[in-house]
Amino acid sequence: MHIVTGGAGFIGSNLVCALIERGCDDVVVVDDLTDGRKYVNISNLPIADYLDKDEFLERLSTDKRFAKNISAILHQGACSDTSEWDGRFMMQNNYSYSRTLLHHCLENKTQYIYASSAAVYGGSSEFVEDPLFEKPLNVYGYSKIQFDRYVRRVAANSQSQVVGLRYFNVYGPHEQHKGSMASVAYHFNTQIGEDGAARLFKGTDGYADGEQLRDFVYVDDVCNVNLWFLDHPDASGIFNTGTGQAQSFNDVANAVIAWHGKGQIRYVPFPEHLEGAYQSFTRADLTQLRLSGCDVEFRSVADGVKDYLDQIG
């Protein structure tokens, strides 16, 4: 049985789809559908079962047969809202829950592949999987780095696989429910469709208008990294998951404009509330990922955005 937590969410639902497409007929989605809009992400997928996240934890602790039938937990569930400052809520969702699943997997020698985040680097200019470069700018980033630290301490010599994947700026299908937290590719597409203009921030931190740089990674490529580790249970560790390239917001907007065959860019003032809490540059160092043997190739913004918009039309 393959468990995908957050399986009705953005990356989770794409991962569920990827597992089913490779022939897995035992995929169980775990999620919290308080936001019922997410149901559309899994409504056409032949999953084996759906469990609420609280019911899932209860069954792990009370149903030994159920627990022993789990071959892998791909843990994508989290509160990913970087503007959320309720630290107690964030730590319960992103840290305590992840820790419970980790101990289950260690005790049962179950593969555990979980979503970390490039937000752990925050104010750093280096993006290497090393504590020297981990400087989160918000409580979301802190929740992720604290769990990575716990994994390093508790699972360093684990006899079963434990993998943390530090996702960079992921975009692609099934993110419509995320609202303001959806990717800039999603928002630019919506804006161009509505009034013909993609709105980008004016320059900040020494960058020209729209020239802030991020490592934008397509969701299908992220899923392929998860599947590679699933297929290589001897590989463990914490790994960056991005393209290894930094591209500008202008690049993303121009890719969306090229797909529409129309549109323009409009620059808007940089929000005051994001000053000091915004990553103007990210680029994944892929050294450790490649040393693990993972050979997944990553698409450029131009290729990824085209495939994304081709799918959502």
- Domain positions in the chain: 2-168+218-243+284-298, 176-213+246-280+306-312
User: What pLDDT is stored for residue 205 in this prediction?
Assistant: 86
**Per-residue tokens: 169:** 């700026």
Distance CA 62, CA 172 (A): 37
Say if 2-168+218-243+284-298 and 176-213+246-280+306-312 have the same CATH topology: no
CB 171 within 8 A of CB 216: yes
Contact (Cβ atoms closer than 8 angstroms) between residue 120 and residue 136? yes
The correct answer on CATH 3.40.50.720 for the domain covering 2-168+218-243+284-298 is yes
Torsions phi, psi for 270 (to 5 deg): -70, 130
Measured in degrees and rounded to the nearest 5, phi and psi for residue 291 equal -65, -25
User: Which run of H or E residues covers position 39?
Assistant: none
Which positions ≥6 away from 238 have C-beta within 8 Å?
Answer: 116, 129, 148, 151, 152, 163, 164, 165, 166, 288
Q: Which residues contact 29 (CB under 8 A, 6 or more apart)?
A: 4, 7, 8, 12, 16, 42, 47, 49, 50, 51
User: What is the pLDDT at residue 228?
Assistant: 98
Q: Check: CB of residue 169 under 8 Å from CB of residue 246.
A: no
Other Cβ atoms within 10 Å of 96 Cβ, number: 12
Q: Which fold has domain 176-213+246-280+306-312?
A: UDP-galactose 4-epimerase; domain 1 (3.90.25)
pLDDT tens series, the chain, 313 aa:
999 999 999 999 999 999 999 999 999 999 999 989 999 999 999 999 999 999 999 999 999 999 999 999 999 998 777 778 788 988 998 999 999 999 999 999 999 999 999 999 998 999 999 999 999 989 999 999 999 999 999 998 899 999 999 999 999 999 999 998 899 999 999 999 999 999 999 998 899 999 999 999 999 999 999 999 999 999 999 999 999 999 999 999 999 999 999 999 999 999 887 777 678 899 999 999 999 999 999 999 999 999 999 999 8
Active site residues: 140, 178
pLDDT given at position 286? 98
pTM above threshold 0.85: yes
